[in-house]
Amino acid sequence: MKEVELDCLGEACPIPLVKAENKLKEMEIGDVLIVQIDHSCAMKNVPEWARKEGHNVEVEEIDDGEWEIIIEKVK
Protein backbone atom coordinates (compact mmCIF):
# COMPACT_ATOMS: atom_id res chain seq x y z
CA MET A 1 0.00 0.00 0.00
CA LYS A 2 1.33 3.34 -1.05
CA GLU A 3 0.49 6.64 0.55
CA VAL A 4 0.72 9.82 -1.47
CA GLU A 5 0.49 13.36 -0.19
CA LEU A 6 -0.79 16.05 -2.47
CA ASP A 7 -0.04 19.58 -1.36
CA CYS A 8 -2.82 21.89 -2.52
CA LEU A 9 -2.38 24.55 0.14
CA GLY A 10 -3.04 27.97 -1.31
CA GLU A 11 -4.73 26.58 -4.41
CA ALA A 12 -8.21 27.83 -5.19
CA CYS A 13 -11.03 25.54 -6.17
CA PRO A 14 -11.18 23.74 -8.67
CA ILE A 15 -7.39 23.17 -8.85
CA PRO A 16 -7.26 20.73 -5.87
CA LEU A 17 -10.06 18.70 -7.44
CA VAL A 18 -8.37 18.46 -10.84
CA LYS A 19 -5.02 17.61 -9.23
CA ALA A 20 -6.61 14.93 -7.06
CA GLU A 21 -8.43 13.47 -10.07
CA ASN A 22 -5.20 13.20 -12.08
CA LYS A 23 -3.18 11.84 -9.16
CA LEU A 24 -5.73 9.19 -8.29
CA LYS A 25 -5.77 7.95 -11.89
CA GLU A 26 -2.10 6.94 -11.74
CA MET A 27 -2.44 5.21 -8.37
CA GLU A 28 -3.08 1.52 -7.62
CA ILE A 29 -6.15 0.07 -5.93
CA GLY A 30 -5.70 0.17 -2.14
CA ASP A 31 -3.40 3.21 -2.26
CA VAL A 32 -4.24 6.19 -0.11
CA LEU A 33 -4.18 9.76 -1.36
CA ILE A 34 -4.01 12.60 1.13
CA VAL A 35 -5.03 15.94 -0.29
CA GLN A 36 -4.06 18.92 1.83
CA ILE A 37 -6.27 21.94 1.24
CA ASP A 38 -7.07 25.30 2.77
CA HIS A 39 -9.80 26.43 0.38
CA SER A 40 -13.18 25.85 1.95
CA CYS A 41 -14.83 25.16 -1.42
CA ALA A 42 -12.48 22.26 -2.15
CA MET A 43 -13.46 20.84 1.23
CA LYS A 44 -16.88 20.28 -0.27
CA ASN A 45 -16.32 19.26 -3.87
CA VAL A 46 -13.30 16.97 -3.49
CA PRO A 47 -15.00 14.59 -1.00
CA GLU A 48 -18.23 14.78 -2.99
CA TRP A 49 -16.50 13.77 -6.20
CA ALA A 50 -14.47 10.99 -4.54
CA ARG A 51 -17.54 9.53 -2.79
CA LYS A 52 -19.45 9.55 -6.05
CA GLU A 53 -16.61 7.67 -7.71
CA GLY A 54 -17.05 5.07 -4.97
CA HIS A 55 -13.83 5.61 -3.01
CA ASN A 56 -13.52 5.67 0.78
CA VAL A 57 -13.26 9.26 1.94
CA GLU A 58 -12.53 10.95 5.22
CA VAL A 59 -12.06 14.62 6.02
CA GLU A 60 -9.94 15.79 8.90
CA GLU A 61 -9.48 19.37 10.03
CA ILE A 62 -5.82 19.54 10.96
CA ASP A 63 -5.76 23.23 11.77
CA ASP A 64 -8.16 26.16 11.62
CA GLY A 65 -9.10 26.38 7.96
CA GLU A 66 -6.76 23.57 6.90
CA TRP A 67 -8.03 20.15 5.99
CA GLU A 68 -6.73 16.78 4.89
CA ILE A 69 -8.94 14.73 2.63
CA ILE A 70 -7.98 11.10 2.85
CA ILE A 71 -9.07 9.07 -0.15
CA GLU A 72 -8.61 5.31 -0.38
CA LYS A 73 -8.77 4.10 -3.95
CA VAL A 74 -11.07 1.10 -4.05
CA LYS A 75 -11.57 0.57 -7.78
> Which of 6, 8, 35, 47 forms a contact with another protein (CB under 8 A)?
47
Under the binding rule (CB under 8 A), the answer on residue 7 touching another protein is no
Under the binding rule (CB under 8 A), the answer on residue 4 touching another protein is no
- DSSP, residue by residue, 9-74: TTPPTTHHHHHHHHHHHTSPTT-EEEEEE--HHHHHHHHHHHHHTT-EEEEEEEETTEEEEEEE--
Under the binding rule (CB under 8 A), the answer on residue 36 touching another protein is no
Q: Output the smallest distance, CB 4 to another protein, in A.
A: 11
> Which of 7, 22, 29, 56 forms a contact with another protein (CB under 8 A)?
56
13 is catalytic: yes
Closest residue by Cα to residue 68 from 16, 14, 2: 16
